[in-house]
Structure 1
Amino acid sequence: MTSPTDIKRVLFIGQLPETVDFSDPALPPGFDAAKIHAGIAIGMQQMADRGWAADLCLVPPDASATDAVKQRLAGATYDAVVIGGGIRIPPKSLMLFERMVNAVHQGAPSAAIAFNTTPQDTADAAARWFEGLT
């Protein structure tokens, strides 16, 4: 039987889909905010199906994102933090990506940091770091 302390906690950080520049050639063609929200829902459900407590933190692509992540990290202890591809992939998001990595490093120094490629593989990204931790 799993005790509450055995439950893995995951924070999924992604860019607020309505703020994504879908004309950016670095992003897969055909993406839109609705598809991203649907993918996020799938990823969150996959984590719940694995018995994990998963939280979602969607941020705008500006300086306020750091504060939002810091607030979320201050409210809970996470075993893993997954930073979404929408923050990591577009070259113009480099500064946002660096701010997110540093905010996680400072706010959750014991959490594994993982990266997904799509919202649907968020659970797999976190799972890579849970192997051997059970």
Structure 2
Amino acid sequence: MKAVLAIGIDPRFADLSAMPHLTTELIQSYLDAQIAALRERGYDPLSCLIDLGDTAEEVVTRALKTKRFDCIVIGAGLRKPDGLFLLFEKIINLVHRHAPDASICFNTQPADTVEAVQRWI
């Protein structure tokens, strides 16, 4: 079974001002559905939701140390906002350091994580 780590901003910390059609609850439901869909397709997914920097590196490092991952998907909510560029950079380097053999992929929205993973494993 291929292990997948899904790293993203916890919806409680997301800046939804640029996406007024989304709510914290809706984003969380998309994330939960994507984890369930990965599981249904035979993957072993782990969701790793982070804050905007206070504990993000610690949380990601802890998750990366739980097992060997075949693929790590990094959410659009962490990559796209310009204000999170340095956090995104730190997370990429943690992934590189702790999971050098894992494929890295990116979703474009909370509802296309499965497709991102399937591109790489």
For normalisation by structure 2, the TM-score amounts to 0.95
Shift of 1:21: 1.5
Residue in structure 2 matching 1:95, options 66, 83, 86:
86
Distance 2:114 2:3 in 1: 11
Alignment partner of 1:29 is 2:9? no
SS in 1 for 2:32: helix
Q: Which has the higher Rg, Structure 1 or Structure 2?
A: 1
Distance 2:21 2:54 in 1: 28
Residue in structure 2 matching 1:107, options 79, 94, 98:
98
- Residue 57 of structure 2 aligns with an amino acid whose one-letter code is T
Residue in structure 2 matching 1:52, options 43, 47, 51:
43
Decide whether the 8 Å contact of 1:39 with 1:118 is kept in 2: no
Which residue is 1:67 aligned to? Answer: 58
- Residue 15 of structure 2 aligns with an amino acid whose one-letter code is D
Alignment partner of 1:16 is 2:10? yes
Residue in structure 1 matching 2:108, options 107, 110, 117:
117
SS in 2 for 1:14: strand
For normalisation by structure 1, the TM-score amounts to 0.86
Shift of 1:14: 0.8
- Residue 76 of structure 2 aligns with an amino acid whose one-letter code is G
Which ranges in structure 1 are unaligned for 5 or more consecutive residues? 1-6
Question: Percent identity of the aligned residues?
Answer: 36
Distance 2:108 2:20 in 1: 14
Moved over 4 A (4+): none
Task: Count residues with an aligned counterpart.
Answer: 121
SS in 1 for 2:52: coil
Decide whether the 8 Å contact of 1:42 with 1:119 is kept in 2: no
Shift of 1:29: 3.1
Distance 1:96 1:32 in 2: 23
Decide whether the 8 Å contact of 1:15 with 1:60 is kept in 2: yes
CA deviation profile, 1:15-48 (whole Å, cap 9, x unmatched): 011011212x3xx331121011010011111101
- Residue 101 of structure 1 aligns with an amino acid whose one-letter code is I
Which ranges in structure 2 are unaligned for 5 or more consecutive residues? none
